[in-house]
Structure 1
Amino acid sequence: MFSTTRLRIGASLIALSCMAAAANAAEITGAGATFPAPAYAKWADAYQKETGIKVNYQAIGSSGGIRQIDNRTVDFGATDAPLKDDELARKGQVQFPALIGGVVPVVNLRGVAPGALRLTGKVLGDIYLGRVTRWSDPAIRALNPTLALPDATISPIYRSDGSGTTFIFTNYLSKTNEEWRSKLGEGATVAWPLGTGGRGNPGVAGLVGRLPNSIGYVEYAYVQQSRLTHVLVQNAAGQWPAPGTAAFAAAAQGIDWKASSAQMLTHASPPEAWPITGATFILMPRKPERTEQAAQSLKFFQWALQRGGDMAQELGYAALPPSALDSLQARWGEIVGSDGQALFKP
């Protein structure tokens, strides 16, 4: 009787242990950039319905995502500001692109329709430097001779948190405005000379929506969600393309993802390219402690790249081209378990 009871208790404990392991494996966690958050949420919902695996993603900003993966409190981190190869080697991390999108200037100007206002990178930089302070400034009027603009003070809005969206935006300004490059440069945070800060893409979108005569910058999905008035920006070819999936994809033409995972897509040369385009990236440890969750994370991103393109495009993103999959799988193969074997199984 005693032996039978002990065996039953032992069997129950084993069963409970297996159930707990299965439950843990059925959820993966990530944190970071707000730039791709709408797409990740849509992918996660579809993936859970198809596989039963829950993807819990916290949109806390790129800097937060980097901190979380450095501390190994999540299974993957997400950043729009890619780490350089030497930093990845020092941290023991693998980086790969997941999605392409665009950073779009937005304004709150009464009577100005979406896409009616045109600005260059030089003028955008001068606005955020405080060189151009009124909407009636000759530099703006020269680009918009037929547009009725108010003689009102410009209210710049920027990201107050560490942001990959800011990194993409300031990377572009550094390529198109010499004073910006020399004084402020690029970064997830910069020493903004003036303006009001908003937290996350939603925070900037909310401020621009509420403050008359303001200008800000957000990822394109937030332009659509918040119904903001977007600005056209002249690209490197001298053209004025509208932001959207096709223009973001054009900026990534000819990119060799095998050469480096830290590719920048701003100020690209194709005439159809949106000038402030960027990829968003995933960070994972080369030797993760939670190997089952790491393997599931890789399966999720493989599924997203193969099956999630249409979902991303519905939100205004551009999917990575199929040609990128081989280089991504090579990077995934660098993520190994305690036995040194690759966790990703094609």
Structure 2
Amino acid sequence: MKRNKTWGGLNAIFMLLLMLNQAQAGVIFGIGATFPKQVYQEWGKQYKAETGSALAYFAQGSGKGIEAILAGKADFGASDKPLIFEELEKSKLMQFPALIGGVVPVVNIKKIGDGQLQLDGVILADIYLGKIRRWNDQAIVALNPGLALPDEAIDVMHRSDSSGSTFVLTDYLSKVSSEWKTTMGAATAVAWKVGEGVDGGDNLAKKIGNTPNSIGYLDPSVVQQRHLTFVKMRNRDGKYVSPNQASFAAAAKNAEWSASNGFNQSLTDQIGSESWPLATATYIIISRSPAEASGTEEALKYFDWTFRKGNLIAQDLGFVLIPPEAMQSVRDSWKMQIKDRAGRPLWK
């Protein structure tokens, strides 16, 4: 019932926007990940100012984004967890990376500021496994000599909804912790052993900000806007790095973007002394044969514009664009794969 009510509400919004927009340029409808929400919406404002076409993006989480495009409820779905090639083929979908960012562990500990607390993947996994329960645990102290850590219980926070950010976190923890891989695995939703679940990234940010001695994970734009305290993470090369555009780009440096597997590329735990270990690409998913071709065509124009003019907005919000060569490969895939019901390409 809850899912039906959700879609009912979204359908009502869509119909209202469609009626209001009949005499104007088209509205592009997108549903999905909260991770890139700020960027997509800021891009949408500038795109409308330049072209007259509007973007209506509903940040419902990656799971809802995949559901939406499968059900034909949107012009595009957005997900931080890419679909595998078999899923794309089965549902006649294509996907491409739109942005590169990173999931950021954050804490709310009195008198500890940005980057002062240092963690590694094993300790982060043990916190979320409930094996490390206090901030002055010897394992944390050993990584932070001289830092005054409180003798307080760790208040663990996580997403309760299906979330691409959760997938990135759990994908990373599965690579660095054999216990995590065996008992928890990588998924958009897992059976958490400890902690409090919160629905949505914005709500999670508010909860962390209001809860002393808490830890959670968020997207960089929310961390920046909420003035939350980020954690430095030790990467695969043993270096402690901060979450920023340079460390996200470093993690993506050696990625091999290929249309043959739907541009599916994991960026967690990448090599490189400057690489952020929880880096990720966030993806757009589009029908290869949409019922409403005009909406899909407008969506392609919007994303082409973001590739050409969206870099400054992306950087201001803590993200970076995909490499230029990947952009061209994406455009080539649009031309080859996305067609109207008569078989005509929607991108030329």
Alignment of 1:87-102 (within 5 A): 87-102=87-102
Alignment of 1:51-90 (within 5 A): 51-90=51-90
Counterpart secondary structure, 1:187: coil
1:343 and 2:346 aligned: yes
Equivalent-residue separation in structure 1 for 2:245 and 2:45 (angstroms): 22
- Aligned-pair identity (%): 44
Quote how far apart the aligned CAs of 1:113 are: 1.1
Equivalent-residue separation in structure 2 for 1:35 and 1:317 (angstroms): 10
Alignment of 1:222-237 (within 5 A): 222-237=222-237
Equivalent-residue separation in structure 2 for 1:21 and 1:152 (angstroms): 54
Quote how far apart the aligned CAs of 1:262 are: 1.1
Note if contact 2:21-2:27 (Cα within 8 Å) is conserved in structure 1: no
Alignment of 1:99-248 (within 5 A): 99-248=99-248
Deviations 1:300-327 (A, max 9, x none): 0000011101110011101111111121
Equivalent-residue separation in structure 2 for 1:82 and 1:272 (angstroms): 24
Note if contact 1:163-1:189 (Cα within 8 Å) is conserved in structure 2: yes
Number of the residue aligned with 1:319: 321
Equivalent-residue separation in structure 2 for 1:178 and 1:95 (angstroms): 30
Counterpart secondary structure, 2:69: helix
Note if contact 2:25-2:54 (Cα within 8 Å) is conserved in structure 1: no
Greater Rg, structure 1 or structure 2? 1
Which letter does structure 2 place at the counterpart of 1:91? S
Equivalent-residue separation in structure 1 for 2:21 and 2:138 (angstroms): 65
Gaps of 5+ in 2: 1-18
Note if contact 1:95-1:331 (Cα within 8 Å) is conserved in structure 2: no
Q: Tell me the TM-score normalised to structure 1 length.
A: 0.92
**Deviates further, 331-340 or 211-220:** 331-340
Note if contact 2:47-2:53 (Cα within 8 Å) is conserved in structure 1: yes
Note if contact 1:47-1:53 (Cα within 8 Å) is conserved in structure 2: yes
Number of the residue aligned with 1:328: 330
Equivalent-residue separation in structure 1 for 2:180 and 2:151 (angstroms): 25
The 3 A distance-change label for structure 1 pair 39 and 20 is closer
Equivalent-residue separation in structure 1 for 2:155 and 2:22 (angstroms): 52
Counterpart secondary structure, 2:103: strand
Gaps of 5+ in 1: 1-18
Number of the residue aligned with 1:290: 292
CA RMSD of aligned residues (A): 1.3
Q: 1:267 aligns with which of 247, 266, 269?
A: 269
Deviations 1:58-104 (A, max 9, x none): 00000011111111011100000000001100011011000011101
Number of the residue aligned with 1:307: 309
